[in-house]
Amino acid sequence: MSQLQPMHALLQTARKVGASDLHLKADSQPFFRVNGRLMPGGAAALSLSDLNSFLAASIPQALQVDWQQNRQIDYSYYVPELGRYRVNAFYQRGQLSAVLRVVHAQPPSFESLNLDGSVLAELCAQKAGIILLCGATGSGKSSTLAAMLQHINQNYDYHIVTLEDPIEYSHSDQRCIINQREIGLDCPSFSAGMRAALRQDPDVLLIGEMRDAFTFETALRAAETGHLVLATLHAANATQAVQRLFEFFPDQTAMLQRQVASTLLATITQRLVPAREGEGRYPASEYFVVEALGRKTLLEGKFDQIEQIIELNSEGSSQSFNQDLLRLVEAKLITTDQALSHSPNPQELKLQLQGIFLTQRGIIH
């Protein structure tokens, strides 16, 4: 335990200062990411020996060969008095480095994340279909997914199977039975886990990341056969998310348009915006909830019209980034300058902040 003390002291400090991540390089000063910004840890450099000792003790035995062969690894690390962390260890220029994501003990709620619980609860109530959580790394996708699972766990009698790399939030059975499978420990890959999951009588499937054609194809099949599928996808907005799906099968466009139109329930894309007072960050969310017009657009492959559909549906479930940024400004949670800097269309947001709304940006055929 003494060999791990320097590392554990850093983990304790990370929670104390409210860091989301801890950045480590052997024989270099540690850094914390707090409210989206990197700051020096003010501690002595972690030695190569200390970092080696931590990795030797924390990497699961089943992943040791993978670590030695690939020289990079993802896994979760848990200490009762320090909590859970998602670890990515790797080599750079032949030297050890690692980044540890701080994971909170309890799955969050919609309210604690300042998310629109009404829209998310409505999506969680669906029996079948695909919901995609999108955004860049560190945009809060995992936290939103955890909140959605927590809502389902509290309100429905389901069997939930998750495939995660690695597991971040631990869920306890409430009304649901939840089986969380970690890639590399409980199953070899997302595709293998998906293949097995359909034989495990699930009601809800959570896929930590949509990475390959087989995983997406299996997710489509699961949605078509009456399962609710939640997954993350790296995309900057709804249009890009839909286009990314079609990149998995570039030669099957017509068939895929029919499948996506019939199974996609929504894309939810997030960006984290610094809070007005500099403490914490708030998610700004774009919701593309696929209703009649959206389904027709997907079926016809007119993906360039998705943004217009979202903008014109301000009174429905869909909302644009600007609409949510406006809400955050009016609630005095973020500043106008921060809203404009995170807006995909700052000129339009300026008009909205002045009370001028473009109710129709063009005719959708």
Cα–Cα distance measured from residue 255 to residue 198, given in angstroms and rounded to the nearest whole number: 22
pLDDT bucket at 358, cuts 50 / 70 / 90: low
Specify the pLDDT at position 359: 57
Task: Decide if 318 contacts 116 (C-beta within 8 A).
Answer: no
184 or 109, greater pLDDT? 109
pLDDT bucket at 365, cuts 50 / 70 / 90: very low
Specify the pLDDT at position 106: 86
Give domain limits for the chain: 2-103, 117-353
What pTM, to 2 d.p., does this model score? 0.88
Least confident of 120-129, 248-257, 294-303: 248-257
pLDDT bucket at 364, cuts 50 / 70 / 90: very low
CATH code of 117-353, in short, is 3.40.50.300
User: How many C-beta neighbours within 10 Å does residue 352 have?
Assistant: 19
Specify the pLDDT at position 219: 95
User: How many C-beta neighbours within 10 Å does residue 292 have?
Assistant: 7
What are phi and psi for residue 121, nearest 5 degrees?
-65, -40
Strands 72-79 and 83-92: antiparallel
Cα–Cα distance measured from residue 284 to residue 351, given in angstroms and rounded to the nearest whole number: 18
Backbone region of residue 137 per phi and psi (left: phi > 0; alpha: psi in -120 to 50; beta: other values): beta
Rg of the Cα atoms in the chain = 21
User: How many C-beta neighbours within 10 Å does residue 167 have?
Assistant: 22
Smallest Cα–Cα separation from 180: which of 160, 196, 203, 151?
A: 160
Sheet containing 31-34: which strands, arranged edge to edge?
37-40, 31-34, 21-25, 95-103, 83-92, 72-79
For the segment 272-309, what is each residue's pLDDT rounded down to a tens digit?
999 987 778 999 999 999 999 999 999 999 999 999 99
The answer on pLDDT for 361 being more than 70 is no
Task: Say which amino acid occupies 210.
Answer: M
Token digits of residue 245: 């799906």
CATH code of 2-103, in short, is 3.30.450.90
Token digits of residue 365: 């055929």
Sheet containing 264-274: which strands, arranged edge to edge?
177-182, 159-164, 204-207, 228-233, 129-134, 264-274, 281-289
Strands 83-92 and 95-103: antiparallel
